[in-house]
Amino acid sequence: MKFIAALLITFSIGIVANAQNKKIDDDHEDFFKFGAKGGVNINKIQGKSYKDGYNYNYQVGAFLQFNFSRKFGIQPEVSLVQTTSEFTDDNSNVYNDLFRDGTQKTAKLNYLEIPILLNVNVGPSKRVKLQVGPSFGSLLKETVDSLQAGQKIPFKKTDMSAIGGLWLQLPLVNLGARYKYGLTNINDGNKADAWHNQAIQIFIGITL
């Protein structure tokens, strides 16, 4: 009987230890991760020279994650983001905006953006992260039509933005949504007419 009791106690301790180890594994988050993501940049340029509405463009990039504690981490990124300036409220224009030269466009801007985001884990699972932080943008290329004959639109070469959003971290796949507001007046001509980039970014990617 003593031998059987000892076996039962040993078996019970093993089950408890295994469950505890599994819980630790489930809760564990590596200090360093990296990955890539891509998606839609639903943007507008706010300013009286532009129509008030959103356009559908693309974004693609890579990121690093440094998880300093169970609650906080830092996520720097590098992304190529396209912004256009004209209005569309018809979802049938999404294909034209993303893959063709929609006739409604007057300005197309390609930015290299470097967000540096604070990750705050929401809840005990570490799967949902609140993200906030600045983004630094450099204008790589602009394709601009004239507002008037022979007149071009002057854009600043740099743009600083504030970002807030949610990131869902699954074991391999990541997805999320963000809102970005441009803090810089990108109008490099008439300073009285302030232009600010705004965007809703929706993305999906992989994390390694």
Per the structure, how many domains does the chain have? Answer: 2
Specify the 3-state DSSP secondary structure of 109: strand
Print burial letters for 50-69: b (CB count within 10 Å at least 16), e (below 16): beeebbbbebebebebebee
Rounded to two decimals, the pTM is 0.76
133 shares a domain with 119:
yes
Specify the 3-state DSSP secondary structure of 174: strand
Q: What are the pLDDT tens digits along the chain (208 aa)?
A: 554 455 445 544 554 444 444 444 445 678 999 999 999 999 988 776 666 678 889 999 999 999 998 899 999 999 999 988 764 445 555 555 555 555 554 678 899 999 999 999 998 878 999 999 999 999 998 877 654 444 566 788 999 999 999 999 998 999 999 999 999 998 887 666 788 899 999 999 999 9
pLDDT of 143: 78
96 shares a domain with 73:
yes
pLDDT in tens, 74-89: 999 999 999 887 644 4
Calpha distance 36→183 (Å, rounded) = 26
Calpha distance 157→170 (Å, rounded) = 36
174 shares a domain with 80:
yes
pLDDT of 15: 46
41 shares a domain with 17:
no
Calpha distance 126→117 (Å, rounded) = 16
pLDDT of 114: 97
57 shares a domain with 112:
yes
pLDDT of 49: 64
E strand or H helix at 66, and its extent? strand 55-67
84 shares a domain with 35:
yes
Find the CATH number of the domain harbouring 96.
2.40.160.20
71 shares a domain with 121:
yes
Q: Which residue range forms the structural domain that includes residue 162?
A: 31-207
147 shares a domain with 102:
yes
175 shares a domain with 73:
yes
80 shares a domain with 63:
yes
pLDDT in tens, 49-68: 666 678 889 999 999 999 99
4 shares a domain with 72:
no
66 shares a domain with 21:
no
